[in-house]
Structure 1
Amino acid sequence: MKKGLCPCLRSRVIEFLIQSAQLLEVSPIVKYAALSLFADRFYPDLSSLEDGRGKENWLLHPIRESNLQLFALASLWVSSKIHDTPPLSVKNLKSLGKTYIKEQHYTNGDFLEAELVLMQVLEFGIGTSDIALVYVEELLVQLKVVARVGELVKFEACMDIMDLLYENEETSVLCNSPRTLATSILVVAYVITVPPQTWEFPVLPWVGRT
């Protein structure tokens, strides 16, 4: 990771992104696609900027927490453009930033610039079909088809687990693929939300085959 970044910085910015998604009332797909863009791809790639891949830009040199919060909002903006009609407006993003980003006041132009820099770091690859949320939803649908106990597994619990994993940087440490991450989340949600006396369906062997 880029020199000078506090180890706890990522967690704070991820928490900010999750809270912003809640305040903006975006759909789950927008939220988790934005998390994938920012946490899984953009933030890890910051280290490559020292090798000359990223262009010099005041939002990245130096990297400040307030600027990372701006990139988090830009990730939500890009995600909403992909998945929502109409997408989030700059006005709403700017208003939220004005309220919750204390160190810096960002203009409409800053949001546009942050979006461009984000896209450049991601090399304009913004596909979001291969993310854990998509696989969680698919697995839940399949589980409900093969076992009545699937109705007891709460989608909200899956999202809470995913939030915790992102906040604690376990999405990259524990699993190497979105599908594997999704199966792990489903198993934990099954254990948490399904009463033990109804554990008739062998969920572990089943997810191992999916």
Structure 2
Amino acid sequence: MKRARCTCLRSRVIQLLIRSSQLLEVTPIVKYSALSLFADRFYPALSRLKDRKVTKNWLLHPIEECNLQLFALVSLWISSKIHDSPPLSVKKFKSLGDKFIKEQHYTMGDILEAEIVLMQVLQFGIGMSKITFSSVEDLLVQFKAIAQVGEHVKFEACMDVMDLLYENEEISVLYSSPEALAASVVVVGYIITVPPQRWEFPVLPWVKFVTSCKEEDILDTVRVILKHIFEPQADYYVANG
């Protein structure tokens, strides 16, 4: 029961981050950098904290859903500061917090404090040189350059798959291997958006060659994605892909 509750909690916070990205109309790189900051790094790090000064901060002791929602918004703000020029103002995130976070009213000072706490938890390491989104984007550009069928692989479909993976904690661990996951997302995007009669392109061997990932690892991940997200169609897609 406790595990199910935690999974549901994480999913709700991720959904808030994604919804906020939509309302702010941020670019995909800002959105997925924020998801990487929060879901791939900050949230898992909370269970490994040893620094008493950090853990005793009121935003982490105890860790409430409303505080996690604040950290999700702060992750989006940090990402905007990394990728946007000029970045989104803190006032926009204050407004979103007032709208979506019902259990707690956060001031501008609280947002600034949450930014510092998040950075401390991450030990001030916020590099974004290698995230899954960037690898997916690069693969799609290359695919379109070498094969006409690449034009049929919908960027939006690949992003939808990435969002659903983030929302599902059980398979969000796939993000620990960005390049292999990116290859798998492109394969899934190909399967679900290209008409079956045009499945003549050897997409699996191609992504294996481009990424240097093992074909069996890519295929295993594709199966996991289809099973958990597109289960009714999984057997058909895998059998015919």
Same fold (TM over 0.5): yes
Counterpart mapping for 1:56-205 below 5 A: 56-169=56-169, 170-172=171-173, 174=174, 176-205=176-205
Q: Cα distance, 1:171 vs. partner?
A: 2.7
Structure 1: runs of 5 or more not aligned = none
Structure 2: runs of 5 or more not aligned = 211-241
Q: Which whole-Å CA distance do the structure 2 matches of 1:149 and 1:59 have between them?
A: 49
Q: Cα distance, 1:175 vs. partner?
A: 5.3
Match in the other structure for 1:34: 34
Which one-letter code corresponds to 2:54 in the other structure? G
Match in the other structure for 2:6: 6
Q: Which whole-Å CA distance do the structure 1 matches of 2:53 and 2:143 have between them?
A: 44
The 1:61/1:175 distance shift into structure 2, 3 A limit, reads closer
Q: Cα distance, 1:54 vs. partner?
A: 3.4
Q: What is the aligned-residue identity percentage? A: 71
Which one-letter code corresponds to 2:30 in the other structure? V
**Displaced runs of 4+ in structure 1, greater than 6 A?**
none
Size of the aligned set, in residue pairs, is 207
Q: Cα distance, 1:124 vs. partner?
A: 0.5
What is the TM-score of this pair, normalised by structure 2? Answer: 0.82
Report which of the two has the higher share of helix: 2
Does the 8 Å CA contact 1:171/1:181 hold for their aligned counterparts? no
Q: Cα distance, 1:50 vs. partner?
A: 5.4
Does the 8 Å CA contact 2:55/2:61 hold for their aligned counterparts? no
Larger RCO (CA within 8 A; separation ≥ 6): 1
Q: Cα distance, 1:177 vs. partner?
A: 1.0
